[in-house]
Structure 1
Amino acid sequence: MATTEGFCADGFEPVRDALEKQLESGEELGASICVTVDGEPVVDIWGGHTDQDRTTPWTEDTIVNVFSITKTMTALSALLLVDRGLLDLDEKVAHYWPEFAANGKADIEIRHLLSHTSGVSGWERPMELADIYDHDSAVARLASQAPWWEPGTASGYHALNYGHLVGEVIRRIDGRTLGRFFADELAGPLGADFHIGTGPEYFARIAPLVPPPAVEFDMATLDQDSILVKTLTCPLLDYERTSDPEWRQAEIGAVNGHGNARSIARLQSIVSGGGVLDGKTWLSPDTVDAIFRQQADGIDLGILTPLRFGIGYGLPHAQTAPAVPDGRVCWWAGVGGSFVVNDLDRGITFAYAMNRMAPGLIGSDRADAYLGAAFGAVA
């Protein structure tokens, strides 16, 4: 059996067993899992390797690109401003960012950005991946274009531009970029090794991603003007580019956060703790309640998957995320399998980060196995 490092509190050994089983089978290359209860870690384990030749061990301090888990950090940053009375979820985006009112977007509200219901789920063509590294240019283009559907009527996953939209609002209010605000107000104070915009000093600790097998389909058969195609191809996310220094250092608050399970769980324990962590109130009860204001429930227009969205997070969905428990729970996943769940009923945060990507857009069999073991231990 493959071995892992770190610790599991009594009763949580099935989580370690599940990770060791996946490592032994070869399904998992390298990964970390962390579970907190009332803000305190009860599982903090890691194992495997950072390279496909299995010559470099995954260590306590290994970090990895966790894709859309980054969105939960962007949302948490916005919720801090909500709690301070500087951002109103029901205010128009253009109140903070006047240029955004162009082309029929004057009535889009902040809650629409945070719940993927704004109608602006991507950029108009032409748009290359490198173009999103230039925040000023990318947000100017978003401000000038029209929504692709009636805002507020449905979700359309803001796959790559979520952090540009929410981050620009944060910058208009606070003056700092999203990555700087997040580092100064959250990651730094909490000692969390998570970065939106990852400097070269961290590169040696980053585990390169192993992309999933390519999905073979004929793009020509798809409606090129559909919300699905425009959302996922304007621009197209190229996994091979995620090792480029330019990708790592850009502040892409939708998809290029780098961290590990420990840092994810540390930060998101603010939410599972009802806004309180380490004896400090980070978010008031009213702000935490706002997360659970359902904004959409149905087939998402951007990825054609059934989803429920609150403010900044997904809400439990038996079909799309069967391993996520019901109740006062919010969650999200990164493409390839990374996962975070905040269970406020039980004060639990679960976090998982890995480098071998599984196929599909949301979750994986591996993530479900670890979730099942973690929540089974507290059932």
Structure 2
Amino acid sequence: MPSLWTFALVLPFLLLSIPFLQVIQYRFFSKRLPIFIDGYSEENLDEVREAFAKNFEVGWEREGASLVVYKEGKKVVDLWGGYADAASNRKWNQDTLTVVFSTTKAAAAICVAMLVERKKLDFDAPVAKYWPEFAKNGKEAITVQQLISHQSGLAYFDAVITEEMALNHTLMRKVIEEEKPKWKPGTAVGYQAFTSGWLIDQLIRSVEPRGVGQFFREEIAQKYEIDLHIGLPMEEYYRVAKITTPTMGERLDEVVDDYRVIRYAKFFLELMDKSSPISRTIGNPSWLEAIDRCTFHNPEYLRMEQAASLGVGNARALAKLFDLAFHGGLLSNEMVKRLKEPIIHDFDFIFQEQIPRGHGLFYFDIEGIHAFGHSGHGCQQVQYDPVNKLSFAYTSNGLKMGLAQYCRTLVRLQKAVYKAMKLKEF
């Protein structure tokens, strides 16, 4: 019979073997559904379609996805495939919608930029100029720029946000007015994962008779036939894909491909401490979950005008929005020039990353070229490359652990696009 010492020596190796067994099981023994790809790409962009299909073939896409690219105002790639709900064998169709998470923030940023152009807002003006009651409790000097660029000190709220409050903009306005900044505004960056949606909504309501959802719908979505919703009509819910979170085996498989993805594993440890900044940031509201399970596709939540994380659309909508805004004349050349460059390079102490940002947008380096846009939870992405005049969007309902340049499905597609179009590669 083995001694306790033998057991003690063997146990660490047994425990270490478990992750590898999970990866092997995922890679070689997971059941793969039939691959389904539809849409089109221009003849010289066949390798983009091949890369899109490859993500499904190797199991990196376990549900569905969409990819759309515009070049100088022309749509050159429009692909979709996989399943809107793999469990029920429901395929991803041309008009399938999914929750686009924080890429919604890019749509909200465009709304703010439009109001700046209309002289209703000024990036450098205090929010209190338009919303006097906001100045309470040390918020009097917070500028519009700081509010939309995660420098406000309001990355999380002390007030517990209920579903009833989130559906009532009057209650949310009062909550924000009573909140105190968690650090001196303008001195640090802390990602406003949820709060920016309510902050921007109330900012717009201060200069408009409508909120961000209605403004976006009436000024952009309806006018230009963009299938993106900040506040989804209940009758459109049947088109929404079911979101699934990755299993432990799938998470580990991403780490095996790119060890840098392990950086996101720290969230699990920090979330165990309910007093940590990140736990307070993404733990309130508690009813919005997207790590172990996903509640984001609850129809009651999707009807909320929450411009930080509850936008519903697809890659076609996001890419068209960016092409319209930054190439098609929705925003002036002067505004686009202003938005091209980041203004903040500070370290984000909430998510422990340094991402250049400004004007409500994120900035990504592509061989020295600043592409700007926004990432979203689970590997959603929308971006505009101003040098090549390229709008790119990718969405998926099978969430990933990695994000942006640490998401393997996205990186494969980006590389394929730039290689096929003979542009500077990532």
SS of equivalent residue, structure 2 residue 38: strand
Provide the C-alpha distance between the structure 2 equivalents of 1:302 and 1:135, rounded to a whole number of angstroms: 26
| Change in 2 beyond 3 A, CA 1:51/1:220 | closer
Match of 2:81 among 47, 52, 62: 47
Root-mean-square deviation (CA, aligned residues, Å) is: 2.1
Residues 49-78 of structure 1, C-alpha deviations (whole Å, 9 max, x = no match): 111226111110001001001000000111
Stretches (4+) displaced over 6 A: none
| Aligned 1:1-379 pairs, distance under 5 A | 2-28=35-61, 29-53=63-87, 55-128=89-162, 131-213=165-247, 217=268, 222=273, 224=275, 226-236=276-286, 237-239=288-290, 240-273=294-327, 277=328, 281-317=329-365, 324-360=366-402, 362=404, 364-378=407-421, 379=423
Q: Deviations over 1:303-344 (max 9, x none)?
A: 112211121211125xxxxxx453242021110011011011
Kindly indicate whether the alpha-carbon contact (under 8 Å) linking 2:99 and 2:297 is maintained by their aligned counterparts in 1. Answer: no
Superposed CA offset, 1:201-232 (max 9, x none): 111111011123376945686371x4323212
Indicate conservation of the 8 Å contact 1:200/1:245, yes or no: yes
**How much has 1:360 moved relative to structure 2?**
4.2
Amino acid at match of 1:18: A
For structure 1, which segment, 57-66 or 118-127, has the greater mean C-alpha deviation from structure 2 after superposition? 118-127
Amino-acid identity (%): 31
Cα distance in 2 for partners of 1:65, 1:220 equals 23
Taking the aligned partners of 1:303 and 1:36, their CA distance within structure 2 comes to: 31
- 1:377 is displaced (CA, Å) by 2.2
Aligned partners of 2:270 and 2:278 also within 8 Å: no
Q: Deviations over 1:54-106 (max 9, x none)?
A: 61111100010010010000001111111111110001001111111011010
Q: Which runs of 5+ in 2 are unaligned?
A: 1-33, 249-264
Secondary structure of 2:394 counterpart: strand
Flag the 1:17–1:293 CA change in 2: closer, same or farther, 3 A.
closer
- Return the alpha-carbon distance in structure 1 between the equivalents of residues 144 and 231 of structure 2: 24
Q: 2:3 corresponds to which residue?
A: none
Larger Rg: 2
Cα distance in structure 1, aligned partners of 2:37 and 2:369: 32
Greater alpha carbon shift after TM alignment, 253-262 vs 148-157? 148-157
Distance 1:180 1:7 in 2: 32
- Farther-moved stretch of structure 1 (108-117 vs 352-361): 352-361
SS in structure 1 at match of 2:393: strand
Q: Unaligned stretches of 5+ in structure 1?
A: 318-323
User: How far has the Cα of 1:166 moved from its partner?
Assistant: 1.1
C-alpha contact 1:2 1:21 (8 A) present in aligned 2: no
2:373 and 2:384 in contact (8 A); partners too: yes
Taking the aligned partners of 2:90 and 2:332, their CA distance within structure 1 comes to: 43
Deviation, structure 1 residue 295 = 3.2
Q: Distance in 2 between matches of 1:155 and 1:234?
A: 19
Q: CA deviation at 1:293?
A: 4.7
Cα shift readout 1:172-216 (whole Å, capped 9, x = no counterpart): 111111111001111111111110000111111110111233769
Instruction: State TM-score, norm by structure 2.
Output: 0.81
| SS at 1:254 equivalent | coil
